[in-house]
Amino acid sequence: MEALRSIPCLVQKFQGLLYSTAMAVPTKAVEFYLDSRRLIEELVQSYTEPYTDKLLPDLLPQEQHVFTLVLDLNETLIHYIWTRDTGWQTFKRPGVDAFLEHLAQFYEIVVYTDEQNMFVDPVIERLDTKHCIRYRLSRPATKYQDGKHFRDLSKLNRNPGKVLYLSGHALESCLQPENCVPIKAWQQQDIDDTALLDFIPFLEFVARSSPSDIRPVLASYEGCDIPSEFIRRSKEHQRRMQEQKHRGRFWK
């Protein structure tokens, strides 16, 4: 991080040095400046942009209909803390095992976090013993912007209409708010949390009904608690279906 902050200062100092040199040797200095500036820009981009434009491999032809469920890690699936007495401790959110195992039947599940590989890999190995998570993306796959690491779903190599990003900090950590599915951020003190389990009916319905574009669906839930609103809408739909059935019987 310090390296990122120091890059603009280095560029300014370097440009000043090259300008003074150019007064004496204009042509060579300009060529040297252009080559060096290109190298610096490439260095800056390597820190700020995802390492590739295709973070995930192509879907198989028979999987083109499958939705991709992108999950954040900290305060979404787990919570970790550090204390002087215990060091680092990682806690698993209640319901995470059932959540992953059930939804792996319907989704391509991807973990996308701003944590480093050295942290993510051992945590996922312990968290996902049944290998429900197909891919894991860590900090080098994020876009560094305005001092934060953002998830850039446009780099996933997936149809944007079939991507959902579930996170306890969804709207603050993703560059595509139209794909965001906010969930309550979790900390280990909340041992009665059911948020992951509460989302299963909605997410299964999406996978089974397979809308052509999930973004208008998510927009219709904006400002709502999605699991609660989904149950309300489902009950309302059932009520209307019952009314139609009774009308049909009456007119017969």
11/87 same-domain check:
no
Q: C-alpha distances in angstroms, 83 versus 73, 87, 88, 122, 124?
A: 20, 5, 7, 20, 22
pLDDT at residue 244, as a whole number: 85
Place of tokens 């139209």: 178
Nearest to 71 by CA among 145, 156, 147, 1: 156
Question: Helices (H), strands (E): how many in the chain?
Answer: 8, 9
The region that residue 72 occupies, defined by phi over 0 for left and psi between -120 and 50 for alpha, beta otherwise, is beta
Q: Are 216 and 229 found together in one domain?
A: no
Half-sphere exposure of 179 (CA within 13 A, CB side): 23
Mean pLDDT per 10-residue interval, the chain, length 252 residues: 49 50 53 55 58 92 94 96 84 97 98 94 95 96 93 97 98 97 93 97 97 98 96 94 76 52
Same domain, 16 and 138: no
DSSP state of 187: -
**Are 13 and 130 found together in one domain?**
no
Total domains present in the chain: 3
State residue 39's pLDDT score: 53
pLDDT computed for residue 222 by the predictor:
95
Residue 26 pLDDT:
58
Question: 189 and 155 in one domain?
Answer: yes
Q: Are residues 81 and 104 in the same domain?
A: yes
Domain that includes residue 27, residue range: 2-48
Would you say residue 56 lies in a domain? no
- Residue 74 DSSP symbol: B
pLDDT at 86: 83
Q: Are residues 199 and 252 in the same domain?
A: no
In-domain check, residue 69: yes
Residue 53 domain flag: no
Q: Are 81 and 204 in a shared domain? A: yes
Which pLDDT score is estimated for 159?
97
d(CA 99, CA 203): 10
